[in-house]
């Protein structure tokens, strides 16, 4: 629930509403998601490394066949989603710590979101294309 969901007649003071929400204005949700995606990627690390080992030295036809198989595509998709989310939050934290000019911060935050989403969607699209064999 964000601060804006609070009813107008709330007895909470404006300070009380924003307290503990931190520099990202989103409370602990990013903290939690950062850990969630980190644990997910750690668990997926061995399967992903095995997949990469399977692909080494193969040509495009071989690589496409392996990446397009269902269990491998699912592992790759999970890893892509977790990593994009994780890196978006991580870079956001770096920006919050080092960029103090509000306008520059706004632009950096936007670029961070654009980059993370673009990389994720491009990778997801590639996996789905390989899976559907188009």
Residues binding other proteins (CB under 8 A): 35, 38-39, 41-42, 45, 49, 52-53, 56-61, 63-64, 67, 76, 83-84, 87, 90-91, 94, 115, 119, 122-123, 125-127, 129-130
**Nearest distance, CB of residue 41 and other proteins, angstroms:** 7
Q: How far is the CB of 25 from other proteins (least distance, A)?
A: 21
- DSSP code at position 49: H
| Cβ proximity to other proteins, 19 vs 129, nearer residue | 129
Smallest distance, other proteins to C-beta of residue 15, A: 28
Nearer to other proteins, 21 or 38 (CB): 38
Between the CA of residue 43 and those of 31, 40, 116, what are the distances in Å? 19, 5, 21
Smallest gap from residue 18 Cβ to other proteins (A) = 24
C-beta closer to other proteins: residue 25 or 58 = 58
Distance CA 76, CA 128 (A): 10
Q: Are 66 and 72 in contact (CB under 8 A)?
A: yes
Helix (H) or strand (E) holding 17: helix 14-18
Torsion of CA 60, 114, 35, 15, to 10 degrees: -170
């Amino acid at each position: 629930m964000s601060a804006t969901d609070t009813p107008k007649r709330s007895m909470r003071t404006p300070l009380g509403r924003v307290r503990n929400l931190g520099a990202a204005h989103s409370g602990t949700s990013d903290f939690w998601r950062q850990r969630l995606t980190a644990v997910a990627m750690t668990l997926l690390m061995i399967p992903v490394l095995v997949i990469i080992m399977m692909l080494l030295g193969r040509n495009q036809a071989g690589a496409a066949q392996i990446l397009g198989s269902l269990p491998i595509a699912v592992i790759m998709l999970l890893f892509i989603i977790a990593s994009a989310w994780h890196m978006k939050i991580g870079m956001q934290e770096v920006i919050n710590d080092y960029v103090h000019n509000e306008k520059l911060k706004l632009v950096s935050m936007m670029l961070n979101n654009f980059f993370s989403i673009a990389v994720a969607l491009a990778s997801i699209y590639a996996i789905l294309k390989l899976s559907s064999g188009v």
